[in-house]
């Protein structure tokens, strides 16, 4: 049994990689099982955060190309200016290519996060309305005794 040469196969599944270590010889490959290894970002302490309010997505048969950018609103003083505007310039900040398999996982992840965030906002708003209904004055400044 020759174990001098090993092949590593990584299959992306957010936020994990499936790592399959297999020996060189084909008949020995059957005895090894995949292992799930969590992916952890390191060294991102100084990674800048950009405000993004415009996204452009293009596709090929295999990838999604995402361009993220910022468009600054124009100052408009009268309705005549508004009629003259045909476009607003956006400043691209980042472009990435995402494989189709990863994009499906990103969509599922973001959908879940968005729905959870929406529920939290609705609960907070309901709680605030409930406080208003009962005359809760905790948001008003109190007078000293």
My answer on whether omega of the bond before 15 falls inside 30° of 0, hence cis, is yes
Q: Look at residue 92 in the predicted model and tell me its pLDDT.
A: 96
Query: Is position 15 within any domain?
Result: yes
Kindly indicate the confidence band of residue 7, based on its pLDDT and cuts at 50, 70 and 90: very low
Looking at the 3D structure of the chain, how many domains does it have?
A: 2
What would the pLDDT profile of 14-59 be if each residue is shown by its tens digit? Answer: 555 555 555 555 555 556 667 778 888 888 899 999 999 999 999 9
Domain with 22 in it:
6-38
Do 78 and 124 lie in one domain? The reply is yes
**CB distance 53 to 68 below 8 Å:** no
| CA 18 – CA 35 distance, rounded (Å) | 6
Do 113 and 65 lie in one domain? The reply is yes
What's the pTM value of the predicted model, to 2 decimals? 0.60
Query: Is position 139 within any domain?
Result: no
Give 64's strand partners. 59, 98
User: Pick the residue with more confidence: 2 or 83?
Assistant: 83
CA distances from 143 to 137, 138, 140 (A): 12, 12, 10
Do 88 and 117 lie in one domain? The reply is yes
Q: Is the pLDDT of residue 118 over 80?
A: yes
Do 83 and 18 lie in one domain? The reply is no
Do 21 and 58 lie in one domain? The reply is no
Do 67 and 124 lie in one domain? The reply is yes
Do 59 and 121 lie in one domain? The reply is yes
Task: Return the top range by mean pLDDT from 33-37, 105-109, 133-137.
Answer: 105-109
């Amino acid at each position: 049994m020759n174990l001098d040469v090993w092949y590593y196969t990584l299959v992306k599944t957010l936020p994990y990689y499936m790592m399959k270590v297999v020996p060189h010889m084909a008949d020995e490959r059957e005895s090894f099982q995949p292992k799930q290894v969590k992916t952890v970002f390191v060294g991102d302490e100084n990674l800048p955060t950009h405000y993004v309010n415009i996204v452009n997505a293009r596709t090929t048969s295999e990838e999604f190309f995402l361009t993220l950018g910022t468009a600054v609103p124009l100052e408009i003083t009268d309705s005549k200016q508004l009629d003259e505007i045909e476009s607003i310039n956006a400043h691209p900040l980042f472009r990435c290519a995402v494989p189709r398999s990863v994009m499906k996982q990103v969509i599922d992840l973001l959908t879940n996060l968005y729905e959870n965030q929406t529920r939290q906002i609705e609960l907070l708003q309901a709680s605030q309305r409930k406080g208003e209904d009962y005359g809760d004055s905790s948001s008003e400044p109190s007078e000293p005794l």
